[in-house]
Structure 1
């Protein structure tokens, strides 16, 4: 019996040594991988079709980011379901740093918009860095007799359901920005979803709808030409491109309405921290490049670097915020 116990004890010690050895080996492998990363081209996943803002900004950043990493950055568009398909593709990739995801505000929105997502938004990814912030603008057709956001709210209250706002689709940031204002101001105006921002803005310029809460870049030429009137920017600060246009909080006196667009870089969960640090450093060098900054400014986008923890906190807070808006407005999509 004593011999049996002795053998068992030796066996447990041997097993413990084996597991310790395996853990050490795995750690050494991760360390070696991190030291040599990247040793081949890196795939940059864009969860939207070519030609959109996400795609344009990544393709503009790609050469400079590739130079900072020492390897080419290969852009791959994996579009569909408001970004869900591309996000899922990136979440399921090998966590080695060779697949990185460029994502944006809809990543947080989709967590509530699609109740049966094939991944957990807050657990499937490891944040690397926020890279940009963009501005949403509340703009109206000049025929609307309101020169401020507060005046528009008063108009909407006096004639519930009379005014229409368009968006690039159900559950898009432009849609939910409108729902957010409706909920905070206790007003009623009608949402009309379009297949993309282009047709929506075209009909707004043509006077077929009255108001929009869309990104600055596609609206700015129409605002500058007088074909549209900007009433407010939806972020916490005024836009350098529209310095005389107040924030939505300034314009209405209402709290909790600020909503800017953000763009960030993520990798699959379990990617080594050393790889994340390498990517973070390269992104910092890219976003401070003068040519990159100039091009992004032309798109109405401002560099907004963050730590991984800061991006994680922003994602968590936006998931909670848009969940409240979606539930209150009873927003549903078919997938």
Structure 2
């Protein structure tokens, strides 16, 4: 009996000294940090806080949301890329951070090599609108007007390389039109001039634009996705008038490269579970956000496809960072 106790004591002592002999606790077993690359209030922040609340309930572990805005998302992306690859630091990763920014020049991270995709999460509803003074009530009329008045119409964006800039340059390229770019320091900064009629055209998030559309201060022409949005089935897509056009503004979650595969599988499974909850879908829908969950491999493929597709737009339109 005495010898058995000695062996047990020695084994216990060794396991505490030699990590490899200790029994690993299943993931997750400590708090998770979700880093948001922008200020509070936008769709990435809404996504992070909604998912964090549910994961905390599911796991019984604290889930902390930390906003690290700046440099178009590069500050947050760099921080997560350099975090320990243990699954306890996630980045809310929109395609503006993983695709648009890297295509415009040097960023302190590689969107493919520095991250391990966990999964896509959402697609944000984006709408094409004009000021009511613009004599166009649908996409076809807008394109006809732009061709009749080359260079006379203007469109606003949140700056070079913003989703609005990329989306409108794709529209111009595919339709053979010339519409002048008026950049602002952020999409919100463009709204006053758009509402006042000092710029003509804009593509932006539905939750921001719908109140102005409903009040009659803006005219809605179309949605930008390949299919009609479920919450706006009466609204046509740009692609119905301009075949092949689609812009999907998505966000997902990534972890640092090298995160163990079993940790990524667990993270993905629970993320998909949370996004399937009816109350989560309802909260996001009220913000003009549609759930779009995926596997890690599907998110990796989406990143690769967007990098190829938008690289052509950057080259053709000569889009440059500020």
TM-score by length of 1: 0.87
Check whether the contact 1:69–1:279 (CA below 8 A) recurs between aligned residues.
Answer: no
Runs of 4+ in 1 over 6 A off after TM superposition: none
Distance in 2 (CA, whole Å) between partners of 1:119 and 1:197 is: 24
What is residue 9 of structure 1 aligned with on the other side? none
| Paired residue secondary structure (1:278) | helix
Check whether the contact 1:38–1:70 (CA below 8 A) recurs between aligned residues.
Answer: no
Check whether the contact 2:117–2:300 (CA below 8 A) recurs between aligned residues.
Answer: yes
Q: In angstroms, what is the RMSD of aligned CA positions?
A: 1.7
What is residue 266 of structure 2 aligned with on the other side? 278
Distance in 2 (CA, whole Å) between partners of 1:330 and 1:69 is: 47
Q: Which of 293, 308, 317 matches 2:281?
A: 293
What is residue 15 of structure 1 aligned with on the other side? none
1:119 CA drift (Å): 2.0
What is residue 81 of structure 2 aligned with on the other side? 91
What is residue 225 of structure 1 aligned with on the other side? 215
Check whether the contact 1:42–1:98 (CA below 8 A) recurs between aligned residues.
Answer: yes
Q: 1:274 to 1:200 in 2, by over 3 A?
A: same
Q: Deviations over 1:45-83 (max 9, x none)?
A: 111112222112212221112222331110111111111
Q: Which of 135, 139, 152 matches 1:145?
A: 135
1:278 CA drift (Å): 1.4
Q: Which of 99, 103, 107 matches 1:112?
A: 103
Unaligned runs of 5+ residues in structure 1 are 1-24
What is residue 177 of structure 1 aligned with on the other side? 167
What is residue 135 of structure 1 aligned with on the other side? 125
Q: Deviations over 1:291-311 (max 9, x none)?
A: 221110001111111011100
What is residue 100 of structure 1 aligned with on the other side? 90
1:273 CA drift (Å): 0.8
TM-score by length of 2: 0.90
Distance in 2 (CA, whole Å) between partners of 1:249 and 1:102 is: 28
Unaligned runs of 5+ residues in structure 2 are 1-17
Distance in 2 (CA, whole Å) between partners of 1:246 and 1:176 is: 20
Check whether the contact 1:179–1:325 (CA below 8 A) recurs between aligned residues.
Answer: yes
What is residue 309 of structure 1 aligned with on the other side? 297
| Paired residue secondary structure (2:93) | strand
The number of aligned residues is 304
| Paired residue secondary structure (2:119) | strand
What is residue 215 of structure 1 aligned with on the other side? 205
